[in-house]
Structure 1
Amino acid sequence: MDRHATRLGRANGTARAVGGVVLLLPGTSPLLPGPVRPLARELARAGAADGLVTHLVRYGDRRGDLARDAEWGADEAVRRYGDVPICLAGFGAGGLAALRAAGHGAVNSVLALAPCVPDGETGPSPEPVKHLAGRQVLIVHGTDDARTDPELSFRLASRAKKANRSTARFEVHSDGHGLREHRAEVVALAVDFVLGAVLARRYSRPVTDALAAPPPLGLRMPLASGFGRSLRG
């Protein structure tokens, strides 16, 4: 498939040997950017010492198949950097694309922020999850999201947990789709997860507990106010 219109944004991170790549998949509405750009800045800062590089995936067509754009991005990252772990980190429709493209052989982790899980999750044709096996998976969703039902991501996470024990989901109480009210905590949680999954740094205790807890506990973990002020403390 021709994906020439899709491209990677400029690299953010370190000039030293690359130890891992994060591909950031934004939502489809430029009016609702979500936490992708502040996450990119924090990842570049926090992961520079270990060679972490981030790229924004610039879609060729925001109405097209974003999962294929994500797969193209992973192929391009492999071409540029070789055999390094890749995390797909997406928001909204980009979060769903990250989950769908996670079967790519170079992807070792997926971060889905307020993923736009389709209504089919409640019907006979839910989202596939078997391809998530062997990946570290984190879903984060605001409980007051009026754009995409957080219960749909919970149901997806519940099925994913059966195929892959390394699945966790955090709930951001009183926050909406854009995750604005607790932006600092959401970004801190996302950075903590990515550094652990891609660079093998130690997860914070809440992330470790969420990954280890059986459902539904590890899939309805509340994101604590002030998370990130004493990470790994």
Structure 2
Amino acid sequence: MTGRPPSAAVLVLHGGYETGVEPPPPGLLNLPGVRMRPFVRALRRATRVPGGGDDRTEVLVRQVRYGHRGWNGHRADALRDALAALDALGEEAAAGDGDGPPVVLLGHSMGARAALLAAGHPLVRGVVGLAPWCPPGDPVTQLAGRDIVLVHSSRDRVTSPQATQSLTARARRAGARTCMVTVRGGDHAMIRRAPAWHHLTTALVTGLLGTGTLPGPVTAALGLPPTAEATDGTLDLDRLRADRSAGLLSSP
């Protein structure tokens, strides 16, 4: 980082594979990484402050680089890379006499699993997980005190929307503030209804950072008590868009 330290940061973690110790292919050959580029561009546009004065709000949007293309069982390589990226942010801030910016982790599929497991890092404020991979045995205690919003297609055939919904309930009981948004007619790669995924994700990330406003129903879901049922915190994207207070009516 150069100049003034950022007031907040977003770390983006793309998807991957269950196994694969080789490094991800470079550039455009890394299709999971390429798929997250529109999200990165949308977030940078949404957090850019015109004018560039000294009082501007600076949000760093950075993509996490993986050393391996797979999760690889107990090695959990993507999680290690996520934690290393968070530690690097903290070290950069310490070099500039700062405490480190609050971070929202944005992950897709395997990257969302890494984000959820890395959420206990002291810099993390919240997680936005897209089509997350949520094995039922993964811990949730590290999510206590964090805002967790998971977005899943009802037609996903790669990762389970039911497992995602279950995780929101488990995490809420563990002290997290959680919400799930269902995208009807979407798919795991987020190609179907892509603009809707991009608009919603931008609204969620900026809302959790405090640089934007969360849709009202999402805020209400995050405020549910720990004993709430999983279905109570599950929202439908199309109903969100029908609510003018959600600010998503312009999304395709």
* 2:247 is the counterpart of 1:231: yes
Matches of 2:36 and 2:83, distance apart in 1: 18
Out of 142, 145, 150, the residue aligned to residue 131 of structure 1 is 142
Matches of 2:47 and 2:41, distance apart in 1: 10
Matches of 2:106 and 2:32, distance apart in 1: 16
Given residue 64 of structure 2, which amino acid in structure 1 is its aligned partner? V
Matches of 2:193 and 2:248, distance apart in 1: 20
Structure 2 spans left out of the alignment, 5+ residues: 18-29, 50-56, 72-76
Matches within 5 A, 1:47-58: 47-49=47-49, 50-58=57-65
- How far is 1:167 from its partner? 0.8
Runs of 4+ residues over 6 Å off in structure 1: none
Larger radius of gyration: 2
Matches of 2:156 and 2:101, distance apart in 1: 34
Query: What does residue 20 of structure 1 align with?
Result: 8
Query: What does residue 20 of structure 2 align with?
Result: none
Query: What does residue 117 of structure 1 align with?
Result: 134
* 2:188 is the counterpart of 1:174: no
How many residues matched? 215
* TM-score, length-scaled by structure 1: 0.82
Given residue 186 of structure 1, which amino acid in structure 2 is its aligned partner? W
- 8 Å CA contact 1:35–1:183 kept in 2: the answer is no
Matches of 2:39 and 2:151, distance apart in 1: 14
Given residue 23 of structure 1, which amino acid in structure 2 is its aligned partner? L
Matches within 5 A, 1:99-114: 99-114=116-131
Out of 102, 110, 113, the residue aligned to residue 93 of structure 1 is 110
Q: CA 1:77–1:227 in 2, change beyond 3 Å: closer, same or farther?
A: farther
Query: What does residue 3 of structure 1 align with?
Result: none
* TM-score, length-scaled by structure 2: 0.77
**Aligned residues: CA RMSD:** 2.6
SS in 2 for 1:58: coil
Deviates more, 1:194-203 or 1:91-100: 194-203
Out of 193, 196, 199, the residue aligned to residue 207 of structure 2 is 196
SS in 2 for 1:190: helix
- How far is 1:212 from its partner? 3.0
* 2:78 is the counterpart of 1:62: no
- 8 Å CA contact 2:200–2:248 kept in 1: the answer is no
* 2:170 is the counterpart of 1:156: no
Structure 1 spans left out of the alignment, 5+ residues: 1-10
